[in-house]
Amino acid sequence: MKQVLEGSQAVAEAVRLAGVQVVSAYPITPQTHIVEILSDYCATGKMNAKFLRVESEHSCMAALIGAQSAGVRTFTATSGQGLALMHELLHWASGARLPIVMAEVNRALAPGWNIWVDQTDTLAQRDTGWIQFYCEDSQEVIDTTLQAYKLAESVALPVMVVLDAFFLSHTYEPVDVPSQEEVDRFLPPYEARFELDTKNPCSFGPLVPPAVYMEMRHDMAAAMDTALATFPVIEDEFAALFGRRYGAVEAIACDDAEIVFVTSGTITSTARLVLENLRGRGEKLGIAKIKLFRPFPVDEVRKALKGAKKIAVIDRNFSFGASGIFAQEIRAALCNAPDHAPVFGYIAGIGGRDVTPEVLEEIYWKTKHNALPERESVWIGLQEVSHGS
């Protein structure tokens, strides 16, 4: 059924439909709408779930680790500082092989205080063993959240569904909300593959000596690889039921493109507009939208970028002392591929600044007019600032 929802609502609808049993969250802007709606669902019985109103994001993830270990489906949402506070327990959740699903509304990190979109918070958690999806619109949010549970439970790793602050979390769009019956066909009720059980007592997360720790980490690495292989299968199942498919990487007009933008999140939608515009003017632009960031879909990326003469990665994030994080990943993915195109790194929209079609066109022309990148990262739209320090 089509409804006009903001991104936050889309998340909440997916969580409701997924039959989540324990929700825990701590309020942080701009994720708040998600938990407000879920609180309401729990209070009114729209959802048969318990809502744990914990005193911090750290406790939030700890509580979900406890709940998921005790054998129920769980959910939380957070943003920026909250995710940073959770950091320790992100490792814990994945190491414990718990299929927790979290919605993360990208928010810039302080100081100074900034509640607007910036992907550095989630990308800084790329090594925690969580699967990460970056969504472009509310439909993708609701669909990805449902798929996230299926994937997480299949490979026994947690999943982060990432959406841009405000541009997605607070933007209303028409969304096709599937019925409960349809969702149930896709995602059956949760059955834990291991859980705390008084009839089968065992000890979760004990001391692990060097003799076996490495094997455990290797098994997680293998599960990530499996996730890469499993995601298309889950997409097939989803597409068969709902008729929608996204791909770990969506290659848009890449076949004959000379310059390919690498995008993620809502910037992709703007890029689609720019692509249409530039193509109308004879410019051969393509887009590779990265949806799945962890595990990183190296083969699909290589495939999408195969014919490009130049690659322009647009990063709304930054790894200080290095470059935009997507750019790093693209370069790493391509370095062992034969004859790959040069990678131009662009930093745009940091801290919630608009990435308008004009910004993207500027990136296009810069890329077109330079044979090779001037620098590893080119910051777009920097202004002369003088506020009398």
Partner 1 sequence: MDLELTEREFMYPGHVGCPGCGAAIAMRFVLKALGEKMMMVLPACCWSVIAGPYPSTTLKIPVIHSAFETGGAVASGVRAALDMKGDTDTTVVTWAGDGGTFDIGFQALSGAVERNEDFIYVCYDNEAYMNTGIQRSSSTPYGAWTTTTPGKDWKKMRKKNIVEALAAHRIPYAATASISHPEDLVRKVKRAQAVKGSRFLHIFASCPTGWKIPSEMAVKIARMAVQTNIFPLYEVEEGLHYTINYKPKRFPVREYFKIQGRFQHLKDEDLDVIQKMVDEDWELLLRKAGEHA
Partner 2 sequence: MAEKAQARAESESPIHIMPRSTLSTEANKTGSWRYLRPRYEEKTAPCSAACPAGEDIGKIEMLTAQGLFKEAWETILRENPLPGICGRVCFHPCEGACNRGEFDDPIAIHSLERFLADTAERYDLKPLLERLPGRPEKVAIAGAGPAGLAAAWFLTQLGYACDVFEASPEAGGILRWGIPLYRLPLAALQREIAQVEAQGVRIHTGRPVTPDFLNDLETSYHAVYLACGHGRTTALRVSGEESDGVGDGLKFLEKVRNGETPDVKGVSAVIGGGNTAVDVARSIVRLGGEALILYRRRRQDMPAFGDEVQMALDEGVKLQELVAPERIGKDGSRTLVTLRHMRIAGEEGGRGRIEPDGDRTSRIVVDRLFKATGAEAAEGWHNPPASKEALALSHCVLSLRNGRPALAWGGDLANGIKSVAHAIASGKQAAIALDTLFREGPDSILPRLESCTVGNGPSLSMEIHMGGERRLRNRHVVAYGEINTDYFRYAPRMTQPRLVRQERARSFAEIDLRVSGNIAMREAERCFNCGLCNQCDNCHLFCPDMSVIHDQSAQGRHIDYDYCKGCGLCVVECPRNAMTLEEEIR
Instruction: Write out the residues near partner 1 by the rule CB under 8 A.
Output: 21-22, 24, 48-50, 52-56, 58-60, 62-72, 74, 88-89, 92, 196-198, 200-209, 212
> Smaller CB distance to partner 2: residue 195 or 361?
195
Is residue 206 at the binding interface for partner 2, with CB under 8 A as the rule?
yes
Burial 152-186 (b: 16+ CB within 10 A, else e): bbbbbbbbbbbbbbbbbbebeeebebbeeeebeeb
Q: Mapping DSSP to helix (H, G, I), strand (E, B) and coil, where does residue 287 land?
A: strand
Residue 194 is a binding residue for partner 2 (CB under 8 A):
yes
Cβ closer to partner 2: 202 or 372? 202
Q: Which residue has the tokens 């994080």?
A: 325
Which of 293, 106, 105, 73 minimizes the C-alpha distance to 183? 73
Q: How far is the CB of 102 from partner 1 (least distance, A)?
A: 14
Q: State yes or no: residue 96 binds partner 2 (CB under 8 A).
A: yes
Residue 69 partner contact from partner 1, partner 2, none using kind-dependent CB cut-offs of 5 to 8 Å: partner 1
Applying CB under 8 A, does 212 fall inside the site for partner 2?
A: yes
Choices 137-145, 152-160, 340-348, 376-384; region in contact with partner 2 by CB under 8 A: 152-160
Segment 305 to 334, residues that bind partner 2, using CB under 8 A: none
DSSP assignment of 1-69 equals -EEEEEHHHHHHHHHHHTT--EEE----TTTHHHHHHHHHHHHHTSS--EEE--SSHHHHHHHHHHHHH
287's contact among partner 1, partner 2, none, with CB below 5 to 8 A by partner kind, is none
156 sits near partner 2 (criterion: CB under 8 A): yes
Residue whose tokens read 């995602």? 187
Identify the CA nearest to 305 among candidates 324, 278, 332, 323.
Answer: 332
| Site membership for partner 2, residue 223 (CB under 8 A) | yes
Q: Could you say which of partner 1, partner 2, none residue 64 binds, taking C-beta under 5 to 8 angstroms by partner kind?
A: partner 1
> b/e map of 189-217 (b: 16 or more CB within 10 Å)?
ebebeeeeeeeeeeeeeeeeeeeeeeeee
Site residues (CB under 8 A) for partner 2?
95-97, 150, 153-156, 191, 193-194, 202-206, 208, 212, 215-216, 219, 222-223, 226, 230
